[in-house]
Amino acid sequence: MSENIIFITKPNGKLTGSIRVTGDKSMSHRSIMLGALAKGTTKVSGFLNGEDCLATIKAFREMGVEIEGPESGHVTIHGVGMLGLKAPEVALDMGNSGTAMRLLTGIMAGQNFGSVLTGDASLSTRPMRRITRPLEQMGASITTRESGTPPLSILGDHQLAGIHYDLPVASAQVKSAVLLAGLYAEGQTSVTEPAVTRDHTERMLRGFGYEVITDGNYMSLQGGGELTACNIDVPADISSAAFFMVGASIAQGSDLTLEHVGVNPTRTGVIDILKLMGADITLSNQKEVGGEPVADIRIRSAVLKGIQIPEALVPLAIDEFPSLFVAACFAEGQTVLTGAEELRVKESDRIQVMADGLLACGADVTPTPDGIIINGGSLGAGEIDSHGDHRIAMAFAMAGLCAGGSITINDCANVDTSFPHFIKIASKAGVNIAII
């Protein structure tokens, strides 16, 4: 059990100045995985020194990969090549990270040794059949608990064969697990996704010199190739930036710039949704860094209005709904989210846990099986439980900017999984928040 770190907010903050939030979590995980499997030395900058990505580093060290850092965002990975991993002597503990576990399972399915992947209490309740099913179709042998949850035991030593897989859920983690296993499979591996999801795996594979074909919602690659080491500049994480986009939008008098944020079009749903709500967001300094678009994002406070959130934007903003719910609470009118049942199987059941917290602060919200209905107005003081979910904790930290009184947020230790130094950066930007 982690210590009960508690955040306490005070109202009447506004966000100003210029900040750079921590590195992108999705890209940081992938940089370690592909760097480890590449031939040669990969140098990463902007790496997220959060617990989730450190779990990925630790797992590859257990398999004999020499990794230096992270030090000030710099990591050096001495790649061992596609077949150079060594059998780990211990179970690989992926902590709180669904991304680490699901992507690594794809890689482990292709090894000639067995492995066991475990996780913390939250990860141990998350669905894994979504990856074991396609990987077993490719020839892998993986056991889960009867409930389809971790720990995972991957037998290894099974030659994989390429398949085509129609993803039943719009999940970049499932897509990535299949494509990464496909690196080890005979012939072609392809997927079709029901809606566009983040494409960092495809982009980064190309950066390592591996051909991946993308045609709309269809992706494919041929097994048996090699990865060539490269340098990776990880931009700031738009999912971490999102808290500040919401905070600056709702806190009157705010004018905040978020520097060097990854604005890959498969991740920018939060900007589109906030703009539909009337937010004042402008992008500048747009450029492409290592195959990924980045920009500075300026947010000025605005009067928000409730909207029906277009379902096509849901996978493009999948991690940003806790903070978007907060924005909806301060908007005029009703916000309705549908088609987002995936939120129920994240680090917590984000529909229920957010609804409980917002209700505790006096909001008018109704959870539904696949979303939520929020009647905007205001929030009052309250005490909430983040259920160990980093994004719930940080969303309520932003709610505290405009709430009628202080919000006490329990169980915040896991903020360190994705956003170390959140309190320091939030305080610098103007959030009145203390940690006890």
Catalytic residue numbers?
Answer: 319
Residue 176 binds ligand S3P, judged by CB under 6 A: yes
Q: How far is the CB of 171 from ligand S3P (least distance, A)?
A: 4
Other CB atoms within 10 A of residue 181 CB: 27
Beta bridge partners of 220: 190, 213
Beta carbons within 8 Å of 98's beta carbon, 6+ residues apart:
123, 126, 173, 346, 347
Question: Using the rule CB under 6 A, is 319 a contact of ligand S3P?
Answer: yes
Enumerate residues 6+ apart whose C-beta is below 8 A from 433: 7, 8, 9, 10, 397, 400, 423, 426, 427
Q: Which residues of 315-345 are buried (b: 16+ CB within 10 A; e: fewer)?
A: bbbbbbbbbbbbbbbbbeeebbbbbbebbeb
Kindly state whether residue 349 participates in binding ligand S3P, applying the rule CB under 6 A: no
Stretch that binds ligand S3P, among 4-12, 71-79, 170-178, 329-337 (CB under 6 A): 170-178
Name the token pair of 188.
């072609």
Regarding beta strands 92-93 and 115-118, do their DSSP bridges make them parallel or antiparallel, or are they unpaired? parallel
Q: Per CB under 6 A, which region of 153-161, 171-179, 243-251, 298-306 contacts ligand S3P?
A: 171-179
Under rule CB under 6 A, residue 171 binds ligand S3P: yes
107 binds ligand S3P (CB under 6 A): no
Tell me if 342 contacts ligand S3P by CB under 6 A.
yes
414 binds ligand S3P, rule: CB under 6 A: no
| Both tokens assigned to 363 | 């909001």
Q: 272's torsion region: left (phi>0), alpha (psi -120 to 50) or beta?
A: alpha
**Which of 14, 158, 198, 350 is the binder for ligand S3P (CB under 6 A)?**
198
Dig out the tokens for 108 from the structure. Answer: 């482990």
Nearest residue to ligand S3P, using CB? 26
26 binds ligand S3P (CB under 6 A): yes
Q: Within its chain, how far is the Cα of 313 from the centroid?
A: 16
Residues in a beta bridge with 77: 42, 67
Question: What is the smallest separation between the CB atom of 26 and ligand S3P, expressed in angstroms?
Answer: 3
Is residue 318 at the binding interface for ligand S3P, with CB under 6 A as the rule?
A: yes
- Span of 64-72, 137-145, 172-180, 215-223 interacting with ligand S3P by CB under 6 A: 172-180
In the complex, least distance from residue 98 CB atom to ligand S3P, rounded to whole angstroms: 6
Closest CB 371 distance from ligand S3P, rounded Å: 15
Question: Is residue 173 within the footprint of ligand S3P (CB under 6 A)?
Answer: yes
What does the binding site for ligand S3P look like in residue numbers (CB under 6 A)?
Answer: 26, 99, 171-173, 176, 197-198, 318-319, 342
